[in-house]
Chain A
């Protein structure tokens, strides 16, 4: 028997086990869930070993200048120190490694966010009204939406706990804008999952369709 056919049969069975959740929570669904988690972890482990660790060690052992060989060893040492976290959660060595990771990641993320998200987004709100009427309306909606959405998060109030009427209206409009945005996100998400469901149904009815 062809291995691909066996794999297809197993995939069909597991798919049916997963969709048995439509009837209710049952052992078959739990079994498929556990199988999926186990297979995923095993696969990822192999991928990391053969696609990350082994090439890394190979590069380190290559005939390179001593600095290029020491730095990977230093990184490897830091990785080993991170394992002390399992023995003692407050181990100083593992905390030092984590500190390096966190600080480096924060610096990298801050720079990328500032250049890649914050400034471009601010630039995107600086729109002109020189084009056609459709673009003018669209740009106006964007500008108003940005302002009122930011105004929703303006929590400053008077000493007596009340807010000005303008702030209240702005917050209300901002809430409506955000609700529209969230509704759009939800609708698109539903569409994506319906596409996945249709694909699985197609797979169940004609398993060979996966093969071109």
Chain B
């Protein structure tokens, strides 16, 4: 069938999941609302079930007449292709059956139609071709178009329930709403003349001007007067039915409440007062939105082929008061719920409907004649007051989702902590037989699951309240005898009911996804205080009296109802997504919602140690703990002179020893100029200052002249302070050293790489005066410390005391890489050692001759100085090393503890 469907080049439109509108299949976004159509399901035509490749084909090889009829496109009332179901069915049946392409002879009523049309024949925008029928002028969003009514009616007579909305009809490309497809005026007028009110037909109201003449063309009136052939049955054409009966009335009088479109389009005079009100106050947007959100369920319901509903055996004689569609249902043992699945809201409303005196007589009679609805298998059967639910199930009353009912359902659904599976006992359903079609039951099961999941999502926050421990977070799937879910899989409170349902093969009172708005989420019709029509036995299904009392449920309902309504008022422009308002309202109203995100609090005696441990293991706690340990070590050193971790004889270090020897080699060249770069800041003072002192002392000991430069603004200050302290007369390292003659401070040079490169060529371009006195450095009045020094290559040694990696790289790239550059020595903090180690390795043979990194290397360097007789005051250095050693041990201990805790948590988590 699917292949035939494609062969006919019938375009499968895409239904927008947001607005429900139909779109051409090539559209990526909805042309109505702009919603993305990725993942949108194509709309299957009525009678055609879109199956995947894995599913077994259950479609007969020969299409049934009902399917053929349902596949027929909806042509406009063109003279060459009348829009009668019989004509359409016969024509397409001939094509699908491989018959000759010759069109069947038109009936007489068609000839009359041609003669009566005359000049009033509508002008088609896209005239039909021989191979492709003319498209219907009305967009598919119409809930009840003129063309849809006879189709549904004809299907009803065939035992097939028309799809709830005409959107699941096979549309061709031209059927889809587009800028070029405007509704034909005559059809708009005809629709306006029908009993459908503008409130219930949003598209008609939108497409038709307010002042549009509501007049039926004469040709159509004549056509109505003449009548149409029997719907959907091609054989009736041959019997010479001249007038299509569906045209005698605009809407079929007794099509039953199964079809949503029919119920909406029913004349107001035929509706009871409560239904008229509901029809008048029905919000079309809600219906459209709900139809869009429940498209999958619709497709499932609509995809039930009529041939599957054919009676396996001759139907017994129907009761005379029942209409044909109902008697056929009873005969085929197919529950009405399978054909048009009523919502629970409908159940609630149906109770009042039955009590209403305006209810149809046939329905009241059915309700009166129904057996007692009390399920025998209920574990706690409450008294059954009446057979109202039976009448609801049986009668399939017209379903109109009134706004009040919707609000009540929202208010009742949100606080309900438990979800009642829509399972009804088989005894309470008329027309439900164990031998009901299994495939149809499976589809109903899927529909129930879809609806139930949506309900669970909507009421999920409420299930956490604990008021109902057995609250079904997943709706127990009503099972058949061979279903996947057995009685053991059901919760205890549902096992009896579910088991009975499964055993009896009873179908379910699943929600009518075509009528009920998405906000009708209550599985408990009796949860609302206003709803008194639901019997107690239905309220008691799935309810544990020990957990939830009616008073608590009502209180919770009242607390949530107002927020829900408030949310709905705020979101009046666009309806919320299904379940969103309920979930939000339930989340706000739930007492535990605020405490759910609260941090874990330990009470009692466990609170203080846990908090203390948590604080100690935090970053700030580790800092403070380390500081306390170091303070304790310093106090122990200062007070008691304890330095347990100090090594007075550091181990040999090749780089440090090379550093020492390189400087010491200048001893043979007294007065050799040496450049010392102070490129460190206060943050490196702890490590660099001891090194700078040792280097200055060493230079003084070998009687070398030195000049200090700095690429850091604070460098000259440190250089000057250390130099002045070192060359103190009382210091044996640099006795008889004077500023200007033995050493000079060149100061700070801006420019980084530029300055260094300039110094390579000419120092005078960078430094012209000294840092202390501002005296000229070069020339006649220049300082003696820079005698015969004009460029960097004139120095015998360059000692770079670096505190920054980038500056060190500048020295390497701009100075050390140049030819004729003097040997370089590098002093750095420990943090830079890994980064600068590669440069030291590669440049060692030619440029860098040693390095001192960190306090440990400084200790070794100072230890080397002792061999020269330079006993520097190493007390502070040892003091720092002792403190640093304790801190290193503390950090190592914390790292070990942290890893143990981490591994323990990991093991516990895996367990």
A residues in contact (CB < 8 Å) with B: 19, 22-24, 40, 43-44, 47-48, 50-52, 54-56, 58-59, 104-105, 108-109, 112-113, 115-117, 120-121, 123-124, 181, 184-185, 188-202, 205-206, 209, 211-212
Contacts and interface: CB of A to CB of B under 8 A. Distances in A.
Interface of B: 620, 623-624, 626-627, 630-631, 634-635, 638, 683-687, 713-714, 716-717, 725, 728, 731, 747-750, 753-754, 757, 767-769, 771, 774, 809-810, 812-814, 816-817, 829-835, 838-839, 841-843, 854-855, 873, 876, 879-880, 883-884, 887-888, 891
B630 A201 contact: yes
B630 A109 contact: no
B880 A195 contact: yes
A121 B813 CA distance: 12
Contact of A192 (B624, B684, B838, B842): B684
Contact of A52 (B624, B731, B748): B748
Chain A: interface secondary structure? helix
Contacts, number: 156
Contact of B884 (A48, A115, A191): A191
A135 B606 CA distance: 57
Contacts of B812: 116-117
Determine which residue in A24, A184, A201 has the highest number of CB atoms from chain B within 10 A of its CB, and name it: A201
Nearest to A41: B713
A55 B842 CA distance: 38
B854 A191 contact: yes
Contacts of B833: 188
B748 A195 contact: no
A112 to B, nearest CB: 3
A193 B816 CA distance: 29
23 contacts: A19-B627, A22-B624, A47-B748, A51-B716, A51-B747, A51-B771, A55-B774, A109-B813, A112-B753, A117-B809, A120-B842, A195-B686, A195-B830, A196-B683, A198-B634, A198-B686, A198-B879, A198-B880, A199-B685, A201-B627, A201-B630, A209-B876, A211-B725
Contact of A194 (B635, B731, B769, B884): B884
Contacts of A123: 842
A210 to B, nearest CB: 9
Given A55-B769, A202-B879, A185 B831 contact: yes
A55 B880 contact: no
Contacts of B713: 43-44, 47-48
Contacts of B873: 212
B132 to A, nearest CB: 43
B425 to A, nearest CB: 56
Nearest to A124: B842
B835 A201 contact: no
B753 A108 contact: yes
Contacts of A47: 713, 716, 747-748
Contacts of B686: 192, 195-196, 198-200
Contacts of B731: 212
A181 B834 contact: yes
A197 B887 contact: yes
B883 A201 contact: yes
Contacts of A196: 683-687
A185 B829 CA distance: 12
B750 A52 contact: yes
Contacts of B725: 211-212
B839 A184 contact: no
Contacts of A190: 891
A83 to B, nearest CB: 17
Given A55-B769, A116-B812, A190-B891, A195 B634 contact: no
Nearest to A196: B686
Nearest to B628: A22
List of 3 A-B pairs having minimum Cβ-Cβ separation, nearest first: A116-B813, A112-B813, A199-B686
B714 A202 contact: no
Nearest to A211: B725
B627 A205 contact: no
A46 to B, nearest CB: 9
Given A108-B814, A120-B839, 6 more contacts: A54-B774, A188-B831, A197-B626, A198-B884, A199-B880, A205-B638
B754 A108 contact: yes
B838 A121 contact: yes
A109 B716 contact: no
Contacts of B843: 120
A201 B634 contact: yes
A198 B879 CA distance: 9
B813 A198 contact: no
Contacts of A200: 686
Given A22-B623, A116-B816, A194 B753 contact: no
Nearest to A116: B813
Contacts of B687: 192, 195-196
B880 A109 contact: no
A43 B635 CA distance: 34
A198 B814 CA distance: 35
A112 B835 contact: no
A212 B620 CA distance: 34
Contacts of B683: 196
A108 B716 contact: no
A191 B754 CA distance: 33
B731 to A, nearest CB: 8
B645 to A, nearest CB: 12
A121 B854 contact: no
Most buried by B among A19, A50, A191: A191
